[in-house]
Amino acid sequence: HAFLSVSKQGVAGIVQTTGNRDCHLVLPAASAAEAEEAACGALAALGLPARAMVDCGYGAGCTTPQEQAAAAAAVAARVADGDGRVCGVVLSAFLKPGRQEIGAQPSQLQFGLSVTEPCLGWEDALATLEALAAAVAARRRASPPPVGRSESMPRAPFRELGAIEQTDNLRVQTIRPLLSPACAIEEVELPLQSKRLVLRARCDISAVVQGDSDRLLVLAGPPAVHDPSEAMEYAARLAALAAELESELLVVMAVNLSRSSSDADDDDAAAPGGGWAGLVTDPRLDGSVDMNSGFRAARRLLLDIAQLGLPTAVEYVDTITPQFVADLASYALVGSRQAGSRAHRELASGLSTPVGFHATAASADAAVGAVRAASAPHAFLSVSKQGVAGIVQTTGNRDGHLV
């Protein structure tokens, strides 16, 4: 993969990786046998090891230490019976069983007791681990493990920052220099008239979202822009139509610069668009990962559309791209896959635009939670306009809503 991240020096960069063959499933202990069978079957169909860890902790539906211990005991019984699909167990465990509230006086907290989710105490955890160890011994006696497993990664020296680097970045091919957002903005600066358009459209969209306007907000545009000249042809037609219908419709052009669909995520060459990741990542459609050129092309395109008098919407697949283009956009989208992401909820809380969170056909719970979370202030790690990692504190965004 190639994506935006931060280097050891705290500077934004373009990361290219080799892939990680040691990823695996962690299934909740409460999941039905049919669901587990289907998940392992799906892995096997992909040529991947049909094995999974079982989460017996609080987040997996075991809400008390007793339930967690019972779930772990059930897993131990499966392992002892020879179930080879179980490769690990997750426990919520600490020194004392249960949990406590933080309260007004943190100095009065009990030592060794969780302040978040309830945990197994040390004695119960010890008994659980001993039972799991006995179960593995029983499985091993019944079916000796295969030998000669290949190494999970090639042996390779890493000397980027000294000997400590031998344990880190083992699957990173390179971190290439990334143009800073400040430089990109200076190269393609938004003129005053376009700034007024962007801000006015944000206010108009907010009025629609808040119910203060009876117009319909309409986002229209291709699922992913691949050719700026074709996008401008569409924008010119849409701008004329938007002006015609402006008393009833607030028309905004969707200018999606990155792809968040399963087509791009799964890198499926047979799917529409194959594994192409979008204009920013691959502006020449040749796999070159020239993100610096991609951001320049994206800013020019958004500026050219603004100069037609047409506001734009951008879907944010990652949390660094907004620093490059958010000043040009009047609306933001967060896809259904990202709606449950803490990082995207925090990002949305600081965006200067209204934000639409996509729900799935099955459930709107994640999107509803995202709207609620984004309305509150947050503090999180991100990248500044200078391309340097920093601590961001936000005020919250009241214009989050469902799509």
Q: What is the pLDDT of residues 135-144, one digit of tens each?
A: 999 999 988 7
pLDDT score at 151: 53
Question: Confidence band (pLDDT; 50, 70, 90) for 244?
Answer: very high
Per residue in 286-342, pLDDT (tens digit) is: 888 999 999 999 999 999 999 999 999 999 999 999 999 999 999 999 998 899 999
Mean pLDDT of the chain, nearest integer: 87
Residue 357 parent element (H or E): strand 355-357
CA distances for 264 relative to 203, 261, 289, 343, 391, angstroms = 33, 6, 14, 20, 30
**Residue 355 CB: number of other CB atoms within 10 A?**
25
The pLDDT assigned to 9 comes to 79
pLDDT for position 287: 86
> Which residues are bridge partners to 27 per DSSP?
54
pLDDT at 270 over 80: no
Please check the confidence at residue 160 and state whether its pLDDT lies above 70. Answer: no
Q: Report the 3 state secondary structure along 13-57.
A: EEEEECCCCCCCEEEECCCCHHHHHHHHHHHHHCCCCCCEEEECC
Look up residue 20 and give its two tokens.
């990680």
Which is nearest to 157 in space by CA: 169, 140, 145, 143?
Answer: 169
Cα separation of 184 and 200, whole Å?
24
Range 381-400 average pLDDT:
94
Contact between residue 285 and residue 254 where contact means Cβ atoms under 8 Å apart: no
Q: How confident is the model at residue 161 (pLDDT cuts 50, 70, 90)?
A: very low
Q: What is the pLDDT of residue 259?
A: 79
Average pLDDT over residues 361-373: 93
- Entry pTM: 0.76
Residue 243: both structure tokens together: 């002006």
Q: Which residues pair with 11 in a beta bridge?
A: 388
- How does DSSP classify residue 98? B
State residue 59's pLDDT score.
Answer: 64
Percent of the chain with pLDDT over 90: 59
